[in-house]
Amino acid sequence: MNRTIALVLVSLLASGCATTGGVTSFTNAGDTANLHEKERRLWHEASGVDSTIERSGQIYEDRRATAYLQGVMDRLYPEFKGKIQVHLYDSTQLNAFALPNGSIYFNIGLLARMENEAQLAAVLAHEAAHFIEKHSFRQRVSAKNLSAFAVSGIPFASLAAVSSISGFSRDLEREADMKGYERLTKAGYDPHEAHKVFEHLASEVKALGIEEPYFFSSHPQLVERIETFKELSARRKKGGRVGAEDYNRVMQAIRLDALRKDVGQDRYKSVILVMEDPGLRRYYPASGYYYLGEAYSRRDEKGDTARALQAWQKAEKLSPRFAPTYKSLGMHYMKTGNKGQARRYFGKYLSLASKDARDRAYVQQYMSSL
């Protein structure tokens, strides 16, 4: 999340997060028309956050996936249809967050890690519960803490740590768990899938040593979610909608794009973890092996050149029309002095890549130099 958005979020949460007496939860969409003055101000600030995010270009444009997530949300909370709006957030970091006006932002990195619709529904139900229960309004920082926001030069991590993106108080998070669980089961989803998404995330956060100050990147927070959902589902029989086929069909392009973005941001550890784990890799397109090769190439540790070559060769075999693989193979053979193989792979790249591919001119130059 960029600094501008983080600053706006901090301002928003500082002004509106309060434990206040007499706060009543929303019961349906009509309730949102009856806000008192402080809530209206909070909603106005939330709309400002929406505008800032949109202007920053951080909305991930995928109409099909956005409509799919919105459909799941509307199934969970049909009486709030039109008031809870789900947006895809263009970040590979593991997070999702709710604003007090009903805007839900879901990072594509988190979407890429889930296995099915039931797991998605568990997170959506949890985030929407924050909105319906007015958690932003009920949790307010003290006046002493508020004074800190006026101090210039506060590190970004410190700002993110006090915003909604890092989660609410323990009691409010537990309330969101319970309220979300109720909606999950009422909508007919298998509740036994809920804890699995948090288990996968906790394993990744621990394995990669992730220290990002976000709720779904916090190992202690994830462990608590696991325990809570296991306890809630222990008394229920397995069964209900899982939706693995639908989910994975919609998320194929997002998963591949998340790999691409991780490589571009040198988050190669994440790419290697995912693509070397058979349980995770099975949800990714075969062209994901190309990004595994790129990750090894960028890591550049002992043995990584051979690992990168092996990954690119798998991508060539399993996804033969994925053009970027051939450029990387061409570069590999050019560097190792095999001009014949380099020309062959560069030629294959040029035959498959679009006419306006930005690397086309460079590859043509490489070809002419061989």
**Amino acid 218: pLDDT:** 66
Residue 42 — very low, low, confident or very high, per pLDDT cuts 50/70/90? Answer: confident
pLDDT (average), residues 331-337: 96
Position 164 pLDDT exceeds 70 = no
Residue 202 belongs to what H/E stretch?
helix 194-208
Enter the tokens of residue 183: 């909606």
CA–chain centroid gap for 13, Å, is 21
The number of C-alpha atoms within 13 Å of 270 and in the hemisphere containing its C-beta is 23
Residues 305 and 203 placed together within one structural domain of the fold: no
**Amino acid 296: pLDDT:** 98
Is 276 exposed, middle or buried (CB count within 10 Å of its CB: 0-12, 13-18, 19+)?
middle
**Amino acid 35: pLDDT:** 86
**Amino acid 202: pLDDT:** 81
Residues 213 and 327 placed together within one structural domain of the fold: no
Residues 339 and 218 placed together within one structural domain of the fold: no
Residues 166 and 50 placed together within one structural domain of the fold: yes
Is 181 part of a structural domain of the chain?
yes
Highest mean pLDDT among 17-31, 219-233, 268-282, 287-301: 287-301
Residues 218 and 293 placed together within one structural domain of the fold: no
Position 16 pLDDT exceeds 60 = no
Position with higher pLDDT, 19 vs 29: 29
**Amino acid 186: pLDDT:** 96
Is 117 part of a structural domain of the chain?
yes
Position with higher pLDDT, 94 vs 103: 103
Position with higher pLDDT, 82 vs 149: 82
Side-by-side strand order, sheet with 103-107:
85-89, 103-107, 96-98
Is 97 part of a structural domain of the chain?
yes
**Amino acid 150: pLDDT:** 31
CATH of the domain at 288: 1.25.40.10
Largest CA distance in the chain: 77
| Cα 318 to Cα 234, 286, 322, distances in angstroms | 41, 6, 9
Of all residues in the chain, the percent with pLDDT exceeding 90 is 58
**Amino acid 87: pLDDT:** 97
Is 257 part of a structural domain of the chain?
no
End-to-end CA separation in angstroms for the chain? 43
Is 344 part of a structural domain of the chain?
yes
Residues 218 and 354 placed together within one structural domain of the fold: no
Q: Mean pLDDT score of the chain, rounded to an integer?
A: 84
Residues in contact with 79: Cβ distance below 8 Å, sequence separation at least 6, in sequence order: 27, 28, 29
Residue 258 — very low, low, confident or very high, per pLDDT cuts 50/70/90? Answer: very high
Residue 160 belongs to what H/E stretch?
helix 156-161
Position 71 pLDDT exceeds 60 = yes
Cβ atoms of 60 and 108 within 8 Å: the answer is: yes
**Amino acid 239: pLDDT:** 86
The string over 229-245, giving b where at least 16 C-beta atoms fall within 10 Å of a residue's C-beta and e elsewhere, is bbebbeeeeeebbbbbe
Position 130 pLDDT exceeds 50 = yes
Phi, psi dihedral angles at 17 (to 5 degrees):
-85, 110
Query: What pTM value is reported for the model?
Result: 0.84
pLDDT (average), residues 213-231: 73
Residues 208 and 148 placed together within one structural domain of the fold: yes
Enter the tokens of residue 92: 């590979």
Position 298 pLDDT exceeds 50 = yes
Q: Collapsing DSSP states into helix, strand and coil, what is residue 105? A: strand
| Cα 114 to Cα 221, 230, 275, distances in angstroms | 18, 18, 14
Residues 109 and 14 placed together within one structural domain of the fold: yes
Position with higher pLDDT, 284 vs 143: 284
Residue 344 — very low, low, confident or very high, per pLDDT cuts 50/70/90? Answer: very high
What are 51-65's pLDDT values in tens digits? 988 998 999 999 999
Q: Angle formed by the axes of helices 117-132 and 63-76, to 10°?
A: 60
Position 153 pLDDT exceeds 50 = no
Residues 324 and 201 placed together within one structural domain of the fold: no
**Range of 334's domain?**
279-369
How many structural domains are present in the chain? 2
Last residue of a domain, one of 233, 263, 294: 233
Position with higher pLDDT, 11 vs 183: 183
- How far apart, in whole angstroms, are the C-alpha atoms of residue 370 and residue 366? 7
Residues 205 and 353 placed together within one structural domain of the fold: no
- Which of 12-21, 202-211, 334-343 comes out lowest in average pLDDT? 12-21
**Amino acid 8: pLDDT:** 47
Of all residues in the chain, the percent with pLDDT exceeding 70 is 83
Is 22 part of a structural domain of the chain?
yes
